[in-house]
Amino acid sequence: MSKGRLLSGMQPTGMLHLGNLEGALANWVKLQDEYEAFFFVANWHALTTMLDRTEEIKRYTRAVATDFLAAGLDPNKCAVFVQSDIKEHAELHLLLSMATPIGWLERVPTFKEKQEQLHLETVSYGLMGYPVLMSSDILIYKANAVPVGQDQLPHLELTREIGRRFNYIFGDIFPECEGLMTEYAAMPGLDGRKMSKSYNNAIYIADTAEETETKVRSMYTDPLKMRKTDPGHPAGCAVYNLLKTYGRADMHEDCEAGRIGCVECKKRLAAFLNDRLAPIRERRMELEQHPEKLDEILAAGAEKARKVARATMVEIRAAMHLD
């Protein structure tokens, strides 16, 4: 029995890594059995930060969609599509922007962060309106559930506020959407910081088994543990912390007592990750060898999504006397 309608997306700003897989995708794979689910590649959103690299956005759009499917999203259970294939998102974005005070957007914490992070001298209208586009992504499907991380909660709250304001002016159209918090510890990267493509410390879903082994060999461990017999401090070790996110860090005492060395630990981690990623890589490879399959799946996903988006727009245009 479906719990309702669910929507989530990811920006194609790079290849997806283990953090994306375990922090979001693995959860989506479970949720597709519980909800009428829509998952999309947010290529319009990527324009806010990669306007000078649109060819890359195109390439990553396919790569991210491939990762979605390789991770286990099943096109028979959910809709997988590309945002720009559903033009109704843009129409609703325009209409919602009329009902969104600028002050609400200026208060969104990620807006200020992005502005500082990207050292932007001028902020584009698109970057500022990014949360309105996100609201239209959600509201156009009348989604009642959105899986989110902590950092996206302000966006979701803004979506609720915009939806309420719109309902107040034009009548009850949008339901309240609920954030489904993803319970997962942040995945440490190769250098021990949070795994992120911008830190260049990630293990990618698309990496080969050999690339994964090489990356794991380069991982940060306890610098005081030079030999196997030296007493180690696992708490600050990236290898230990990565295994811990998988509940596999049973070498704590052996490390401290000097009974295990970093080489052995890294071998265990690489073997574990390669086992975890093997079926995903196999599906990935198959999709890459048959690009027409991906085209078909994305077209069918867009068809499913468009049907719902069009029905919502008919209702909205009538409510706003734009029909």
- Is residue 262 involved in binding ligand SF4 (CB under 6 A)? yes
Rg (CA), the chain: 22
Looking at the Cβ atoms of 267 and 293, the one nearer to ligand SF4 is 267
Looking at the Cβ atoms of 42 and 242, the one nearer to ligand SF4 is 242
Residue 197 bears catalytic tag? yes
The window from 119-127, 207-215, 231-239, 276-284 that contacts ligand SF4 (CB under 6 A) reads 231-239
- Is residue 255 involved in binding ligand SF4 (CB under 6 A)? yes
- Is residue 234 involved in binding ligand SF4 (CB under 6 A)? yes
Of positions 46, 265, 280, 302, contacts ligand SF4 by CB under 6 A:
265
The window from 36-44, 52-60, 62-70, 229-237 that contacts ligand SF4 (CB under 6 A) reads 229-237
Catalytic hit among 197, 244, 267, 304: 197
102's tokens: 């600028």
Catalytic hit among 77, 114, 228, 244: 114
- In terms of Cα–Cα distance, which of 197, 205, 149, 189 is closest to 21? 205
Position of tokens 């649109």? 54
Residue 194 bears catalytic tag? yes
Residue 87 bears catalytic tag? no
What's the first-to-final CA gap in the chain, in angstroms?
35
> Which residues are near ligand SF4 by CB under 6 A?
221-222, 225, 232, 234, 237, 239-240, 251, 255, 260-262, 265
| Residues annotated catalytic, as ranges | 114, 194, 197
